[in-house]
Structure 1
Amino acid sequence: MSPFLLTRTLSDDSVDTALRADVRTGLTAVPKELPPRWFYDARGSALFDEITRLPEYYPTRAEREILIGRAARIAAVSGARTLVELGSGSSDKTRHLLDALTGLHTYVPVDVSESALRGAAGPLLAARPGLQVHALIADFTALTELPASPGPRLLAFLGGTIGNLLPAERARFLRSVRALLDPGDTLLLGTDLVKDERTLVRAYDDAAGVTAEFNKNVLQVLARELGADADPADFDHVALWDREHEWIEMRLRARTALTVKIPELGLAVPFEAGEEVRTEVSAKFRREGVRRELEDAGWEPVEWWTDSAGRFALSLARAVERPAP
């Protein structure tokens, strides 16, 4: 058996269909919105990598600190022979887990980017002879099955990405990944924590303007894929803290009244001066809220760790008997 397999569950046609549906629905809604998944073309992914190295953006460093300090404990409690990582990207942080999981047989990285999956696989295989890598090109929110692999399995969802899902979406997602696993398998979940507003807003509105460029990149995606004539210079990047919902919102705000034409959809989308389109929600969490959401979805919380500054948390939870549908 080859040490590297690649399975595609996401076709180019399905990506195009999803983009068209999201843009048509989102830009004709009131208020307007676009899902954050469309940030991540090649340029958007490179910009996000740059964001993770900015002084204002603490989550990546905080999560890495926890992984370095707790990887051995995660390995001991999970006993994992298979590691599944959702939204794996470059698999950079996961290397700390891979080093600690000495009994690991199979690594299943899941990402929408084939180039990211292939790029990460080479160094991993070179450093870990005998490891099987079965990569999935897939939308992790729509997974219905995983490749056959030995248990126990550990599913990692890192980076605080779960915060991009609204509460009802999170509930569905946590139940869906629970349904992929067997009782006794484990989930490692990264969650950014509620903290002071200034720290949160700065993390999404850095002084160098990289996050602003990242936010506006969705307009470049619409231009390339759908022929949209939206000019990034016509929009301002906005990052706001919503105290009621305890999440950050990123938005694009029209500087003047304008109309964005999208020929591939036959749409002309009017914007009033100052009108905004929401491009991302990033929820922040409290320990009891994480515990409640996990338990409601059929997970038993086992461990909770934060970085030394208490900014970010990793939860380890065990799958219990399958919840009622």
Structure 2
Amino acid sequence: MAAERHFDPATAEVALRGLRASRKTLPAHLLYDEEGCRLFEAITRLPEYYVTRTELALLRQIGPELRERVGPGAAVVEYGAGAPTKASLLLAALDRPAAYVPFDIAESAVVATAEALRERFPGLALHPLVGDFMDGVALPDLPRPLLGFFPGSTIGNLDPEAAVRFLGKVRGALGEGGRFLVGVDLPKAPEVLVPAYDDAAGVTAAFNLNLLRRLNREAGAGFDLAHFAHRAVWNATDSRIEMHLQSRQRQSVPVAGVPVHFEAGETIHTENSYKRSPQAFLTLASQAGWHGEALWRDPDGLFSLHLLAS
């Protein structure tokens, strides 16, 4: 049974802007509707996707040191709060955390995360926020100290200019004395990277193609998903994995009544995932007024956690 259509003029406008460009793109946030969030959670459990299990192990390892550094009664603000697992680990490690703010563009993810943590930490003050963290947000009145949390290497989805802009907005929101715990994926061999974004089971392909299904539902589009293929490409020059949707044939697809033409082999660039060395990330952070307080890496050199201080 086909999903019910709910036309959204804002989604249609954003989609057409990207699809009518000389090199077709779509913003990565469109990947994360309810089904996209479900598929991404499935990706995090895949054997090829090292990111989540490595970061979880690091969070367990650094808990005692982080507790000492942050101190008692902290309020945690999680940017991109798509699931409760990592936040639960972090909150359990801290000394009597007072409040938690899950902030994400996907309302269903924010609600689910808040509900899960309400059960796990019944005395914790919860302040769910729905919105695009790239736009910034006025935080509620929170106890100090403030600890921002941005796990999963989501910072890798941002190009350098956008990353600096985002880091600056967070620094402004958390204020003087605020800290920011950020997960950053490290550069490594393409033989490890590419399968993490093009798994054998095809879950990442379904996640990427679901974006077209969302445009059919919300942007009045007429994509035939069988006419597009998922592609993950390692761009060594820019140190990033790129996700694309490649047209299998020459075709024209209506989007909000406007025909969008594709040549065979032409792609829609849907997401980047930058892989940054500690020095490369700290260079970006310093441009936004942060300095590095602590750095942790797993023994295999796959992933890093940075604690930034303002």
TM-score (norm 1): 0.90
Matches within 5 A, 1:38-187: 38-79=30-71, 81-187=74-180
How many Å apart are 1:28 and its aligned residue?
0.5
Equivalent of 1:280 in 268, 271, 274: 271
How many Å apart are 1:269 and its aligned residue?
0.3
Structure 1 partner of 2:17: 25
Structure 2 partner of 1:307: 298
> Are 2:247 and 1:230 equivalent residues in the alignment?
no
1:217-275 CA distance string (max 9 Å, x none): 1100000012211111101111100010000001011111000111x3x3100001111
- Superposition CA RMSD, Å: 1.5
Closer/same/farther in 2, CA of residues 275 and 57 from structure 1, 3 Å limit: same
CA contact (8 A) 2:36 2:210 kept: yes
1:257-300 CA distance string (max 9 Å, x none): 000111x3x31000011111101111000111111111111111
Structure 1 partner of 2:282: 291
How many Å apart are 1:18 and its aligned residue?
4.1
Which consecutive unaligned segments of at least 5 residues does structure 1 have?
1-12, 320-325
CA contact (8 A) 2:54 2:298 kept: yes
1: CA distance, partners of 2:185 / 2:11: 28
What letter matches 1:280 in structure 2?
A: E
Equivalent of 1:220 in 213, 224, 247: 213
Structure 2 partner of 1:7: none
1:188-238 CA distance string (max 9 Å, x none): 011111000111111001111111111111100000012211111101111
Secondary structure of the residue that 2:128 maps to in structure 1? strand
TM-score (norm 2): 0.95
1:133-165 CA distance string (max 9 Å, x none): 011011111123111111110000110011111
CA contact (8 A) 2:84 2:116 kept: no
Moved over 6 A (4+): none
Equivalent of 2:202 in 197, 209, 215: 209
CA contact (8 A) 1:75 1:97 kept: no
Q: How many aligned residue pairs are there?
A: 304
Secondary structure of the residue that 2:90 maps to in structure 1? helix
2: CA distance, partners of 1:248 / 1:123: 32
Which consecutive unaligned segments of at least 5 residues does structure 2 have?
1-5
1:3-24 CA distance string (max 9 Å, x none): xxxxxxxxxx9x9454233211
Equivalent of 2:183 in 183, 186, 190: 190
1: CA distance, partners of 2:272 / 2:281: 17
What letter matches 1:28 in structure 2?
A: R
